[in-house]
């Protein structure tokens, strides 16, 4: 059995992308928790492998030519794992182009826009003092809606995002799109998206990957802990 991959992780949509991929690909891995609410992503040892002070990061002891390698950025990690295993990257060159295209769409569109929508709709109003910014809320809520309409159209004639095969593009988009309620989106008018969300969410590896660290998300935090988390993650002084 190969040596386990070290996964530096916290249960967020970007973290779920990689935990799901590792489960789907059947790769052994060891979890190293990076509590972003406590600022562990800023520790010097983590910054050596994740210089952008963001998780997830992986370290593969069996990297190219058998030498260890550390990789940050969730999209780059997914591409690396797909190449390493020969899985979920697309069966043909045209398919691989489609996968990369939709992976980049997630990295440059859905992730940032849905993240900002979630921030301004959930976190900012809970800050001290509250930051209720209707323009920002509408701006990101509307852009997420546009992106999900694009996705719904793409899925109208395809079982999965890049074609009739499951890929790392699905693994990248699903963790963000499944939180459509938190982004204040409607799904009744997007039947293809709804069908895809259910199909991907029913996969055992997806469920297992998303459940990794669920106890940390479910733990009730005190108001003081919430404000400290805001200060650490958003530069907000409580």
What is the C-alpha to C-alpha distance for residues 110 and 103, in angstroms, rounded to an integer?
Answer: 10
What is the per-residue pLDDT for 77? Answer: 98
CATH number of 5-87+210-234: 3.40.30.10
* Spans of the chain, pLDDT less than 70: 236-238
What is the C-alpha to C-alpha distance for residues 187 and 134, in angstroms, rounded to an integer?
Answer: 22
pTM higher than the cut 0.75: yes
> What secondary structure letter does DSSP report for 90?
-
Percent above pLDDT 70 for the chain: 98
What is the per-residue pLDDT for 131? Answer: 94
| Per-residue pLDDT tens over the stretch 175-195 | 999 999 999 999 999 999 999
Give exposure, 101-123, as e/b (b: 16+ Cβ within 10 Å).
ebbebbbebbbebbbbbbbbbeb
* Domain 93-202 annotated CATH 1.20.1050.10: yes
Q: Where are the domains of the chain?
A: 5-87+210-234, 93-202
Token look-up 């004639």 returns: 157
What is the per-residue pLDDT for 233? Answer: 72
CA dihedral sign of residues 64, 66, 69, 74: positive
């Amino acid at each position: 059995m190969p040596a386990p991959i070290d996964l530096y992780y916290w249960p967020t949509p970007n973290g779920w992308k990689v935990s799901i991929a590792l489960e789907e690909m059947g790769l052994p891995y060891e979890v190293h928790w990076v509590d972003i609410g406590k600022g562990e992503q800023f520790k010097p040892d983590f910054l050596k492998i994740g210089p952008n002070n963001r998780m997830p990061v992986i370290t593969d002891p069996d990297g190219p030519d058998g030498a260890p390698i550390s990789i940050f950025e969730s999209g780059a990690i997914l591409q690396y794992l797909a190449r390493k295993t020969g899985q979920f990257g697309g069966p043909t060159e045209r398919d691989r182009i489609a996968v990369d295209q939709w992976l980049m769409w997630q990295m440059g569109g859905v992730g940032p826009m849905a993240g900002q929508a979630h921030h301004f709709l959930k976190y900012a109003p809970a800050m001290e003092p509250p930051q209720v910014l209707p323009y920002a809320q509408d701006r990101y809520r509307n852009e997420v809606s546009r992106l999900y309409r694009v996705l719904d159209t793409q899925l109208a004639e395809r079982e999965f995002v890049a074609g009739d095969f499951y890929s790392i593009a699905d693994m990248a988009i699903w963790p963000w799109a499944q939180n459509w309620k938190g982004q204040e989106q409607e799904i009744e008018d997007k039947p293809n998206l709804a069908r895809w969300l259910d199909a991907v969410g029913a996969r055992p590896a997806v469920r297992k990957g998303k459940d990794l660290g669920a106890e940390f998300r479910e733990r009730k935090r005190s108001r003081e802990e919430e404000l400290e988390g805001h200060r650490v993650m958003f530069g907000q002084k409580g």
